[in-house]
Chain A
Amino acid sequence: MTGAGDAVARLVRDEGTRVLATLVRVTGSVDLAEDAVQDAVVRALETWPRDGVPANPRGWLLVAARHRAVDVVRREAKRLGKEAVAMPDVDPCPDPVSVRDDLLRLVFTCCHPALSLDAQVALALRTLGGLSTAEVARGLLVPEATMAKRLTRAKQKIAQARIPYRVPAAEELPSRLAGVASTVYLIFNEGYTGRVSLLAEAVRLARLLVSLMPDEPTALGLLALVLLQDARRAARFSSGAPVLLSAQDRSLWDAALIKEGVELVGRGLRRTPSVPNAYVVQAAIAACHDLAPSYEQTNWDAVISWYDVLSTVQDTPVVRLNRAAAVAERDGPAAALALVDALAGLDDYPWWHASRAELLHRLGSASAFDALERAEETGLPAAHVAHLRRRLG
C-alpha cells in the first residue's frame, strides 16, 4: 500500500471503532453494526486513496454504515415477509460528548462481567481494537475457527441475554472499570511474554480508556503501568532470551514513554489521596525502576514502601513475593528468604520456587538446585529455567 493508503488505513481504523460504537446504539446489534461498518470501511479504503479523504471522514463512514445496515435489515425483513423495523438516523457531525458516550458503552459491553474473560479479551481486541478475527486468533495463539466461534458466541450472548449497551451507574463504575482494566492488563501481559503485537494493542486500549475517563485513577494507573513497562521493551530481550531487570541496558529504555508514565502516576496519585489505587501504585513501583540510573542505585526503600501501600489494597502472595525480592536487594538474601518461606500456599507457583532458588543460591546453599527443580516442575518458562541454571552453574 502507498504512504497515502497507509494513512487512510490508520484513519479508517481509528474512526472505525468510534463509528462502530455509534452504529451499535443505532442498530441495537453488535453483529449488524460490525457488518455495516466493515462494509463502509471497505468502501472507504477503495475510494479515499483514489478520490481523496472526505472533509468529514467520520460522518462519511457513519452514513455509509447506516445505509448498509438499513439494507441488511430490509433484506432480512423481506426474506421473512415482515415489515422492516425503522432505524434511527445518524448525525453525520455528532458532538464529541455523544461519540465519547457511545465508545464508553461499547467498552463496558465488551468487558461485561457476564461474559467470560476469554470472550472479553477477544471482543476487546476485535471490537474495540479493530483487529480482524484472524489477527486476534494469531495474537492469542488460538485457531482462527475457534476464535470466530468464540466471538460469535459472545455476540450472541450480548444479543440474546440483552447485555445492556450502557455506561454503568456511578455506584457500579469502580468495580466495572476494574473489570475493564483487568481485561486490558491481561492483553498486555500476553504481549509482555513475547507477543509484541498485543503490547501495542493493550497500550492503545489503555490510551482509549484514559481519553474516555481522564479523571479515573484506574484508567490513569493502567496506562502509566503499561507505558512504564513497555518503555523497557527494547532491553527486555537479547537474541530471543529474556534479560532480567538487573541486567538490562538502560540506555535502550524509551525516555519519552517513561516521562509520560511518570506524569500519569502523578495524576493518578493526586486523584487518590485517601484510598490507594492498585494500578497507580503498581505504576509507581515501575516508575521507581524506570527512574533509577542503574539497578544498584534503585531506591529500594521507596520500592518496598510502595509494596507496603499496595498490600493494603491487594494483599496477595504474589505482591508479598515481589516485595521480598526488593527486600533481598536492600537487606540481603537471608532476610528475604525468611519472608518468602513464610508465604503459604504457593507450592504450585513456579515463581515462588524460582525466588527461593535465587535466594538460596545467593546464600551459597545447595538447596537452590532442589528449588530450581520444583520451579521447573511447576511450569517456570524455559528461558527463565535456563537463566537460573546458568546462575547456579
Chain B
Amino acid sequence: MPKYAAIIYATDIDPTTPEATDMMKDYDEFGAGAAAVIRGGAALYPTATATTVRVTGGKGGDIVTSDGPYAETKEALTGFYLLECADLDEAVKVAARIPGAWDGAIEVRPVVDFGK
C-alpha cells in the first residue's frame, strides 16, 4: 500500500507546554483512532527553535546557518505523520481528522517507494 506524509501547518506552539494540553488531548485521540494507518511521525518544537542550514557554492562549500525556519508563514510546520493508506481519498479522510487541519492545513504528499 502507498505511504503518504501528512505534513501539518498550524498554530506555532510548543506541544510540551501547559497551554498545549487541550491540543495534545486531541492529538492523542487522533493517534489512537488512526493507529491502524499511522506508520510514524513526529511533533516539532516551535519555529523559534529552528535553524536553517545552507551550503553556499554547492557541495563542499561554506556552511551558512541562520536563525528561524526556511519559510516564514502564518501557519508553521509543526509536525508530520507517515500514513499508509489505500489511496489518496483514504489519506485525505485521515488527514482531515488531524487536529492541525482544524485551525491550519495538512499537506498530503505521496512518499517515494525506492524499493520498486
Contact = CB atoms under 8 A, between A and B. Distances in A.
Interface of A: 112, 114, 160-164, 166
Contact of B110 (A112, A162, A164, A166): A162
B29 interface: no
A114 B110 contact: no
Interface stretch (B11-19, B39-47, B62-70, B87-95): B87-95
22 contacts: A112-B88, A114-B88, A114-B92, A160-B110, A161-B88, A161-B108, A161-B109, A161-B110, A162-B2, A162-B86, A162-B87, A162-B88, A162-B110, A163-B87, A163-B88, A163-B89, A164-B86, A164-B87, A164-B88, A164-B89, A166-B87, A166-B89
Interface residues on B, range: under 10
A259 B90 CA distance: 43
A25 B109 CA distance: 23
Interface string B39-60: 0000000000000000000000
Interface in B77-116: 86-89, 92, 108-110
A164 to B, nearest CB: 4
A114 B87 CA distance: 12
A161 to B, nearest CB: 5
B111 to A, nearest CB: 10
A160 B88 CA distance: 10
A166 B89 CA distance: 10
Contacts of A166: 87, 89
Contacts of A162: 2, 86-88, 110
Q: Please list the 5 inter-chain residue pairs (A to B) with the smallest Cβ-Cβ separation, ordered nearest first.
A: A164-B87, A162-B87, A161-B110, A161-B88, A162-B2
Interface in B1-53: 2
A65 B31 CA distance: 46
A164 B110 CA distance: 13
A114 B89 CA distance: 9
Given A162-B87, A166-B89, 4 more contacts: A114-B88, A160-B110, A162-B110, A164-B89
Contacts of A114: 88, 92
A164 B90 CA distance: 9
Contacts of B110: 160-162
A112 B110 CA distance: 16
A326 B2 CA distance: 54
A112 B87 CA distance: 13
Nearest to B4: A161
Contacts of B2: 162
Nearest to B89: A164
A319 to B, nearest CB: 30
A163 B87 CA distance: 6
A164 B88 CA distance: 7
Contacts of A161: 88, 108-110
Contacts of B89: 163-164, 166
Contacts of B86: 162, 164
A162 B112 CA distance: 12
B7 to A, nearest CB: 14
A112 B62 CA distance: 45
Nearest to A162: B87
A171 to B, nearest CB: 12
B71 to A, nearest CB: 21
A227 B37 CA distance: 47
A161 B2 CA distance: 8
